[in-house]
Structure formats: structure tokens, C-alpha cells
Amino acid sequence: MTLENTAATNKFGSHLRSQFLMDPKYVPLNHGSLGVFPHSVHAALRKNQDYVELQPDRWHRIEVFPMLRKVRESLAKLLHVEDPGDLALVQNASVGLASVLRSFPFKKGDKIICFSTTYTSVLNGALKFLESRGRIEIVKIDLAYPMSDEAVIDLVREAIQQHHHQDKPIRMAIMDAIISMPGVRFPFEAVTQLVREHNILSLVDGAHTLGQIPLDLTALDPDFFVSNLHKWLYVPRGACVLYVAKRNQHLVRPLSITPANDFNKKVNSVPFEQDFGDPGIFDHSPFICTHAALEFRESLGGEEAIMKYTHEMAVKGGALVAEILGTSVMENPEGTLTASMVNVELPLKESKYSDSETERLIIEKMIYEHNCLAPAYKHNGKWWVRFSGQIYIDLDDFKYGAKAIQQICNELQK
């Protein structure tokens, strides 16, 4: 499928689903979990895969290095990073975070700040692994949304005052830019600045950021930052970018290290680039599709137009869902929580099933009985549902999802 005339017919809404590979009968309300990519990107994916198979040695020994460098150059512009050499390509955010955490030279007694809302694979994966090896102590801050940004910042400040000591310092703070569950924007800019003032390193999990909110990493100046490309940027799964500030690059190695060959060194001049510049033998095609994804986004009007629509759709759609369900949107008085994902309270006071069974049943019923999905979860003692605003949905889709989840709640209510 070509991109011709896309800009001229650029009215966002459900009709744009024809440009994606989705089942036309499916109502896609959960873009945030896995992302999707359009036909034009799918064509670029297949083209690169076919090209690689013509001469696998040519690709894997020589050509992969300059091609991945070009991807990092494009992403550097998008992220406002001056040197593409500060970026590495990894398969997903969890791999990027684990690369930092597993290789960082923590000393016994070092502490890491995280949050009760930290992504499960990070909290129960890499962090628990480090803790079990006696390398770090976890300082977990409980968050109960909806809450103001200032309340979150105050909790971080209190944790620093309580736990940051010279003999046992807080070495690092892990924070989301946009939390997964609940799907709310976290005040990562202010918290990054706060921890920097106390000589605490910042590791920002921006898995949901690229394509959903504007980013300027030069202005933010985090120590480490990751963002998936496949969630909101329309790049095939799995693809992610890891940013490491130059001051910290000597501290970070990839999970799998391949000694740099001459072709790698010809393109990548410093050890950090060389280590991450050869990610091994797997399908690099999703990364290569970054250019096609950015071209598609530009044909729709560019980043600002896309983000404006997806945000407005989340706000208006969330209000509509709340009205249908007779509940409320998870938002604070400042209105800072909703980016392009919106959380609505469910009218499910007490389920006939356990929490885990309830969550599973909601997913199964939405997918198999209603041909849609908006993930449900329990937070702060209440059941919520998360909807994603996206260019290919409109308010009728939110209405359909609301009625589906309403029926399911009635079936599960004790």
C-alpha cells in the first residue's frame, strides 16, 4: 500500500483502520500494550527480510552496521539527542532496563528507588534479581492514583530524606515516564531533576513515550532512558531505543556482548557504540522499518497532529465511557495524568471471582465475545479499565467498548 494522497485525506478516525493489518471487525482499544503498524511499514519489513535472505553474509557481516547507524541518526533527531552515538538499539524496554541494571557496578548497601507502579518485569525481574544477590536494597514508594504530580514529588523527596545516607546511599531512581497500569503520565521531568540534585542517577522507563508525547532528552538530561518504538511509533515488534548519557557509557554493557569486528569498528567508533552496535544474529528488520514508520507518520501530518488527536480522543473518549458506566475518569485537579491513554473506573464493586480470575475473565470475554479489548486492572481498591486513543479510532469505538465492559461487569458482579 502506498502513502500517496494520505496527507490530503488526513481525517483521523476508524476509516484509517484500512491502512493497518487489523481484522476490520475488531475494535482496537488497546494500542498501548503492543502497538500496530500500517501496510506501508509491513511492506518495508518484508522487503528488508527478503533482501537479507538474498545474501545473509553480506547483511550480517557488513551492511547491518551502517543501516542501524542510520536508524539511530533518525531517532536522535526525534529525541533531540545531539550525538546518535548516545543511542543503542535493543529489542524492548525490559532488555534496555536490564542492560543498565545488570551491568551497573552497584556496591553492597546501595539503594534503588522504585514505585509500586513500576512495570512488573522490572520490579519482579531485574530488581528482585539484584536484591536476591545482595547487590542492592529496594526503596519502594507506594503510589495510589489519582494523585497530583506535587504529591508524587513530595513522596520522592521524603524517601530521599529518609533513605539517602553517605554510607548507604540511594544510587539510582527508576521511574516511568508514562506508567503502564494505571496508564497515567508520571512527573518524570521534575523527579529526574530532583534526584539529580541529590547525586542520584535517573533511569527513566519511557516504554510508552515515543509517539505518544514529545521528548527532548537534551533538556531532560537523564542518566538513562528507554522507549519502545513498537508501541506508539508504528514500528514492528520488537524494537526499542536506549539512551545513555556519555558520562555513564563506560558503566553499561549489553546483556550479550559480541567482540566488535572491523566492519563494526568502521561505523562505530567508541566502545559503547561497538558493544551495542552488534546485537547478534536475529531479525533486525523491525529497526530498519523506523524510516518507513516515520514517513507514514509524516504523511498523516506529523508528530504534533498525531499526538493532538490521540490525546483529545483519550480525553473525550474517557469522558464518554465514564458517562456510560456512571463512574469517573482517573484524573487529578491539574489534568496532568491523561496523555493518550485514559483510565475509567469500572462499576464493579465486588466480583464473584478472585482478582486474578476477574482480570482474566474480562480479557477473555472482551476478546472472544465482544471482539475488542481494553485491559482491566485493580488499583487503589477499585477496578479500572484503560483505553488508548489512536488515529484509527473514534468516539463510536469508545462507546462500543464501554457497553461491552458494562455487560461484562454485570455478569461478574457478585
Q: Of the given ranges (68-77, 260-269, 311-320, 374-383), which has the lowest mean pLDDT?
A: 260-269
Q: What is the pLDDT of residue 216?
A: 97
pLDDT digit string, tens, across residues 81-134:
999 999 999 999 999 999 999 999 999 889 999 999 987 777 777 888 888 888
For the cut 80, the answer to whether the pLDDT of residue 414 exceeds it is: no
- Spell out the domains of the chain, with CATH numbers in brackets: 14-38+302-412 (3.90.1150.10), 55-293 (3.40.640.10)
Mean pLDDT of 260-272: 69
pLDDT digit string, tens, across residues 327-346:
999 999 999 999 999 999 99
HEC secondary structure over the chain: CCCCCCHHHCCCCHHHHHHECCCCCCEECCHHHHCCCEHHHHHHHHHHHHHHHHCHHHHHHHHHHHHHHHHHHHHHHHHCCCCHHHEEEECCHHHHHHHHHHHCCCCCCCEEEEECCCCHHHHHHHHHHHHHCCCCEEEEECCCCCCCHHHHHHHHHHHHHHHCCCCCCEEEEEEECECCCCCCECCHHHHHHHHHHCCCEEEEECCCCCCCCCCCHHHHCCCEEEEECCCCCCCCCCCEEEEECHHHHHHCCCCCCCCCCHHHHHHCCCHHHHHHHCCCCCCCHHHHCHHHHHHHHHHCCCHHHHHHHHHHHHHHHHHHHHHHHCCCECCCCCCCCCCCEEEEECCCCCECCCHHHHHHHHHHHHHHHHCEECCEEEECCEEEEEEECCCCCCHHHHHHHHHHHHHHHHHHEC
pLDDT digit string, tens, across residues 4-57:
444 433 589 999 999 999 999 999 999 989 999 999 999 999 999 999 999 998
pTM above 0.75, yes or no: yes
Q: What is the pLDDT of residue 6?
A: 44
Q: What is the pLDDT of residue 132?
A: 83
Q: What is the pLDDT of residue 270?
A: 75
Q: What is the pLDDT of residue 271?
A: 79
Distant-in-sequence, close-in-space partners of 212: CB < 8 Å, separation ≥ 6 = 178, 231, 232, 307, 310, 339, 340, 341
Q: What is the pLDDT of residue 341?
A: 97
Q: What is the pLDDT of residue 4?
A: 41
**Interhelix angle 290-299/39-54, nearest 10 degrees:** 160
| pLDDT bracket for residue 257 (50, 70, 90) | confident
